Structure formats: C-alpha cells, structure tokens
Structure 1
C-alpha cells in the first residue's frame, strides 16, 4: 500500500490510503457511535423542548389572534354605534340651530318693529312738540303785533261799539 501512496505522490495525482489505523477511521466511527448513543437522548430532549416551545408560541399566537379578532369586531361595533350617535347628535344640533335661528330672526323682527314704532312715536312726539312751539310762537307774535297795533286801532268809539255788541249778544241769548 505504501507503494500506491508513493506512486500517487510521485505522479502528482491523488491516491487513497487504505490503512485504517493511519486514517483514524475507527476513531471517527467510535466518536460518531458515542455521539449517537449518548447524544440522541440529549438532542431528542432539546428538539422536543424546542418543538413544545414552538407549539406553545403558535398556540399563544392563535389565541392572541382570536382575541384580537374578537376585539376588532367589538371595536367595529362600538365605532358603528359612535357614528350613529354622532349622526344623531349632528341631526339634533342642526335642528337646534334651525330653532335658534328662527328664534333669533323672530326676535330681531320684533326688535325692528319695536324700533320702528319707537321711531314713529318719537317722530310724532317731535312733530307735536314742534307744532306746539310753533303755535306758541305764532300766538306770542300775534299778541305782540296786536298789542302794538291795538292803541292805534282801538279808539273810544270802537270800544263802546264792542261793549254794546257784547251786551246785546249776552242779553239776546238770555
């Protein structure tokens, strides 16, 4: 066998060494056997634990997924209820706004009518006051003019005639 090895080395090729002791094939078989014999239980336990852990994680994830789906359904239901309530509140608010608007418009109309009436009353009152002042002034001017002209116009004859006419009127009515 050495010759085969030498031939392979000299020729620059590849050769096989069939000497079992030199290659430690027996040592490798013994180590692999020991690992299989003693390690199979150890590796089996590790793989079994790993499998249990993975199964537990999958089951937990499935449980969480079911809970999340149930929570999602519940929240969607709550959302629909909240949206319905929001629509109801919106409708009520619009109705209240319309009522308030109508009330404000009615009050404004009443206020405008009251202001018009007040302005008309003020205008009438101002007209009456102005007319009263004007009459007073005209009467004062007329009296002043009459008092100024009276001594020239009212003579003794005219006074006597006026007194006689007044007596006749009084006497004729009795």
Structure 2
C-alpha cells in the first residue's frame, strides 16, 4: 500500500511539471488532487486490489480445483479403460484358444466319422460280396442238382430204352453178378 501512495505522489509531481509546461503551450494536466478525483481513484483501486484479490484468488482456486478434479477423473477413466481393455484382450485370447480347440476337435471328429463311414462301407461291401457268393453258390448247387437230375433222367431213359430193346444173356448175367457182389452176397 505504501508503494501505491508513493507512486501516486510521483504521478502528481510529474503531473505538476506537465501542467507548468502546459500553461505555456495550451495543453496541460490538472495536478490538483481534489479536482481530478485522484483520491477517489486511489481508494477504489485499493479496495479493488484488497477485496478483488480475494474474489479473484477464490475464483482461480475454484478453477484450479475443477481442473485438478477433471484431470483426476480423466486419469481414473483412462485407468478403467486400460483395465477394461486388458480384460477384453484376455477374453479375446481365451476365445481364440477356444475357437482353435473347437476347430481341432471338429477336424478330429470329422476324421473319426470318415473312418467310421469307410469301415461301415467296407463291411457292407464284404457282406454284399458274401451274400453274392452265397447266392452264387446256391445257384451253382441248384444248377448242379438240375444237371444231375437231367443226367439221371437221361440215364434212366437210356436204360429203359436198352431194357426195352432187350439185354443179351451174358450182359444180364454180368449185371446180376455185379449187383449181388455189391450187395454183399
């Protein structure tokens, strides 16, 4: 405050010198303190300085606190975002691991299913071949039986024809002897 009064006094002195120079040139400053309201201005400036400093200091302090709060809040949100990012990355890694595991299991399951299908197909082919062979053997046996029946029928027919035609006596005797020998007698 003392410095301010000293500055006011010096301004008044400089103003006085300017006023003296102005009386001679037509331009000048009024150095009368009461006429220029210099005391009123000094009081207003002092009041503004004393009380304005408190208000301005309070406003600046509140603004500083708001900025600090905003910075802390931003840091907290950044930390939360970083932790959420880390959790999301862990979940992504876990999902990728599960996806590769599922893919491997699906490939293994496909190979197992393919092997089972091929084994079933091979068993079906073998069964069909066996059934075909059995059918073929049955048809072959049937054909052989039919041929035997034809041969027997033809032999009987030939024997009947020969019997009807008559058998010579020595051939008859030979047949009878052979038949008796086969019977065990």
Structure-2-length-normalised TM-score = 0.58
SS in 2 for 1:25: coil
* Correspondence for 1:75: 81
Matched, 1:41 2:47: yes
Q: Give me the whole-angstrom Cα distance separating, in 1, the residues matched to 2:94 and 2:141.
A: 69
Q: Give me the whole-angstrom Cα distance separating, in 2, the residues matched to 1:163 and 1:82.
A: 110
Gap runs ≥5 in structure 1: 1-15
* Correspondence for 1:172: 184
Q: Give me the whole-angstrom Cα distance separating, in 2, the residues matched to 1:80 and 1:97.
A: 25
Deviation at 1:122, TM superposition (A): 1.0
Deviation at 1:148, TM superposition (A): 5.4
Aligned pairs (5 A) from 1:12-51:
17-18=22-23, 25=30, 30-31=36-37, 33-38=39-44, 40-42=46-48, 45-46=51-52, 48-51=54-57
* Correspondence for 1:8: none
Q: Give me the whole-angstrom Cα distance separating, in 2, the residues matched to 1:52 and 1:162.
A: 152
Structure-1-length-normalised TM-score = 0.61
* Correspondence for 1:125: 131
Question: Cα RMSD (Å) of the superposition?
Answer: 4.1
* Correspondence for 2:103: 97
Q: Give me the whole-angstrom Cα distance separating, in 2, the residues matched to 1:66 and 1:110.
A: 65
Gap runs ≥5 in structure 2: 1-20
Deviation at 1:17, TM superposition (A): 4.7
